[in-house]
Structure 1
Amino acid sequence: MKIGMAMSGGVDSSTGAALLRRQGHEVHGFFMRLPVPNQEDQIRRVGQVADMLGIPLHLVDMDQVFTDTVIDYFLSTYQDGQTPNPCIRCNREIKFGSLLDIMQEHGMERGATGHYARIATDGDRPVIRRGRDQRKDQSYFLCRIRPERLSRILFPLGELHKKQVYDLAEELGLSGFRQQKESQDVCFLSHCSVAEFLRQHGGPELPGDIVDTRGRVLGTHRGIWKYTIGQRRGLGIPDATPWYVVALDGRHNQVIVGKDEELWRQSIDLCQVEWALARTMPWEGLIQLRSRHQPAPATVTRTPRGWRATFQSPQRAITPGQFAAFYEEDRLVGSGIIAIPPESST
């Protein structure tokens, strides 16, 4: 097949492209120009890889659509007192949205990335499964891909472990990757903190109250976007036991703090729930609340206001704005957005 590979110059996408080429496919590399640091260094690296593999490389200008779709979402979500996940948004709208369409316009039959995930079938429907390497599994970040797109997507590294990818890269003639530091950051935050990025992009310095869950004023803050659920440091509130951020109230510009026991919730409200596979309610399975959260048994039900997830055991530091991914064993069957402060859901 003619396959478009989203390439960054890193070991995963480079090895994925090499592996597809070795399998006999006609591979084209696609590099997205984005408003992120060190783009020219990336372009030079990905160009070297494409030359080494002998594949065409297409540079795609995604600067404006990325700004409008991902960065604006990132800024507005923080300013609303919630916590965004820009990688999930990017995967839905950019990599497996606009870029996949551009690949098709260039005659590609499939689009591929270096994600550690797999695609299987459930009856006649494709469904995402966790990557074989549990430590590197990235299926959570793919939880909002539109189901109808899955038939056009390939994950060539899904059956491999990270060590195998490094070994395969060397076997295929791609050297030097073991010496590179692997990026763990959001691409546009690689050289600054969230607070600094928000400040650079007009995050308002709006002082407000730090209050406890009973409404007592305990201190002041200089912008709720500087805080995250579960945060302990930097609150400036002395006490015999630590205070933690338990909620952010954008409407009243308040940071709400509590003790550790107030961070634990057994049920949450969800909005914008989407199902990759049709399921009857109530649904029972595993829910993952963030990228490093251990999936927990839970039940999802319909409510007069929308959706609710109830866990068998309380979960800590549940964060509005983040995504809840629904799994049946290793199959990703749906997702929703944590809609409101968790204490309002109990």
Structure 2
Amino acid sequence: MQIDFGLDRDLREARIVVAMSGGVDSSVVAALAARTGAEVIGVTLQLYDHGEAAKRSGACCAGQDIYDASMVAERLGIAHYVLDYESRFRDSVIEHFADEYARGRTPVPCSLCNQGVKFRDLVAFAKELGADCLATGHYVRRVVNGDSVELHKGADPARDQSYFLYGTTREQLDFLRFPLGDLPKSEVRRIAEEEGLIVAAKPDSQDICFVPDGDYAGLVQRLRPETIAAGEIVDLEGRVLGTHRGVVHFTVGQRRGIEVGGQKEPLYVVRIEPEQQRLVVGPRRALAVEEMRVEEINWIAEDQTEIGVKVRSLASPVPASIDGGQVRFASAEYGVAPGQAAVFYDGTRMLGGGWIAETRSAVRSAMDAAA
């Protein structure tokens, strides 16, 4: 299989830089780039200190993964660099993750990482190397439409990663390439086997890369110990129902861990008030959101007022309208939490997105109207 990298000159004279995480996806991108006859350079980011990295596996940019990337590069006969971005990653992603949890918000570190070290910094490095493009293993499609370049969902809905790339700028999109956007995972693994890559059967990482054991609360507790202070659990009217063991253990929409008995229906976290170490809980209908305010919006496409909006990576876009930073859902949406990314679509085309700063509860609106 040959992939068109969309370059305007003879590929035998071109230079392609590939972001290699050590997984099967980026390794296959490197193999596909090498098949073109272009000069290919693999770049892997080390995002942890050497001691920690050596202990980790199954997480992007960790000790075993750096070794796997170097072995793939050797197999393909391409140059390979490892960049130490540990301090940048800690400051811009891990510390932000802990801060967001301490503020009672639900962070999306993968989006932040893509906006920072993985795209901004890697694009800059690739250009310093004189590359014609930077190729990654993301399952999204870059579509040239006349004079404009668009970013679309990956062809395989189960693999689409466009939600995490909303912060990509138009200038970056001109330089980026996503060779896997039209491929199913099964074909990617077949190519890896065909190329004899050691990562052909390597499992995908499932957790946030810097929390490979999935214990988010444990990480935040170490970095922000104030988040483990016990506090009150109150209902929508402010009546105290019980106590909790620290806001770090909760996110908006969560049901597990709310140890309050004697209620007529299950309770969910509706709001977190970290200054008071307080959880506000209510029935599921209290999670219905009619409107949200979105900050730091990045438009890849032209501004639109009628959009589809996705508020979780695994959710489907739902109809909404946008005016400035105010997004109003066509019908109440559930699972909307401050700190998450709100990503805008027009069909398969990803338009842009931003961070959810504040939500407006449909139940609260009804209560206000009745007052």
What is the match of residue 262 of structure 1?
286
Supply the distance in 2 between the matched residues of 1:140 and 1:258 (Cα, whole angstroms).
29
Q: Is the partner of 2:320 in helix, strand or coil?
A: strand
CA contact (8 A) 1:286 1:296 kept: yes
Q: CA deviation at 1:341?
A: 3.8
Find the counterpart in structure 2 of residue 312 from structure 1: 330
1:285 is matched with which residue?
A: 307
SS at match of 2:336: coil
| Aligned position for 2:255 | 232
Distance 2:222 2:251 in 1: 19
Q: 3-state SS of the aligned residue for 1:90?
A: helix
Long gaps (5+) in structure 1: none
Residue of 214, 218, 243 corresponding to 1:196: 218
Partners of 2:146 and 2:244 in 1: CA distance: 53
Measured in 2, the distance between the counterparts of 1:177 and 1:316 equals: 38
Q: How does 1:105-254 map to 2 (within 5 A)?
A: 105-175=128-198, 177-178=200-201, 180-204=202-226, 205-238=228-261, 239-254=263-278
Q: Where does residue 88 of structure 1 map in the other structure?
A: 111
Structure 1 residue 147 displacement after superposition: 2.0
Equivalences for 1:324-335 in 2 at 5 Å? 324-335=342-353
The alpha-carbon deviation at position 342 of structure 1 amounts to: 3.4
Q: Distance in 2 between matches of 1:146 and 1:209?
A: 43
Residues of 2 paired with 1:107 and 1:272: CA distance? 31
Q: 1:40 offset after TM fit, Å?
A: 2.6
Q: Look up the SS of the partner of 1:339 in the other structure.
A: strand
C-alpha distance in 2, partners of 1:86/1:170? Answer: 31
Q: Tell me which moved more, 252-261 or 219-228.
A: 219-228
Compute the displacement of 1:337 (Å): 1.4
Instruction: Provide the residue aligned with 1:340 in structure 2.
Output: 358
Quote how far apart the aligned CAs of 1:251 are.
Answer: 3.4
SS at match of 1:81: coil
Distance 2:199 2:179 in 1: 21
For residues 137 and 309 of structure 1, the distance between their equivalents in structure 2, rounded to whole angstroms, comes to 23
Pair 1:297–1:192, CA change in 2 (3 A): closer
- Tell me, which stretches of 5 or more residues in structure 2 are unaligned? 1-13, 366-371
More deviation, 62-71/336-345: 336-345
Aligned equivalents of 1:319 and 1:342: distance in 2? 11
Q: Are residues 14 and 176 of structure 1, via their aligned partners in 2, closer, same or farther at CA, if it must alter by over 3 Å?
A: closer
Cα distance in structure 2, aligned partners of 1:321 and 1:6? 27
Q: What is the TM-score normalised by the length of structure 2? A: 0.87
Classify the secondary structure of the residue corresponding to 2:292.
strand
CA contact 1:318–1:342 (8 Å) conserved in 2:
no
Partner of residue 50, structure 1 = 73
TM-score, normalized by length of structure 1? 0.93
Over the residues paired in the alignment, what is the CA RMSD in angstroms?
A: 1.7
| TM-superposed deviation, 1:17 | 0.6
Tell me if structure 1 keeps the 8 A contact 2:289–2:359. Answer: no
- 1:98 equivalenced with 2:121 (yes/no): yes
Q: Which runs of 4+ in 1 moved over 6 A?
A: none
Q: Amino acid of the residue matched to residue 350 of structure 2?
A: L
Find out whether 1:272 has 2:296 as its counterpart. Answer: yes
Deviation of 1:156 after TM superposition, in Å, equals: 0.9
Q: Between the two proteins, what is the percent identity of the paired residues?
A: 37
Which residue does the alignment assign to 1:301? 323
Offset of residue 122 of structure 1: 4.5
Measure, in 1, the Cα distance between the counterparts of 2:225 and 2:143.
Answer: 42
- Equivalent of residue 29 in structure 2, options 5, 8, 16: 16
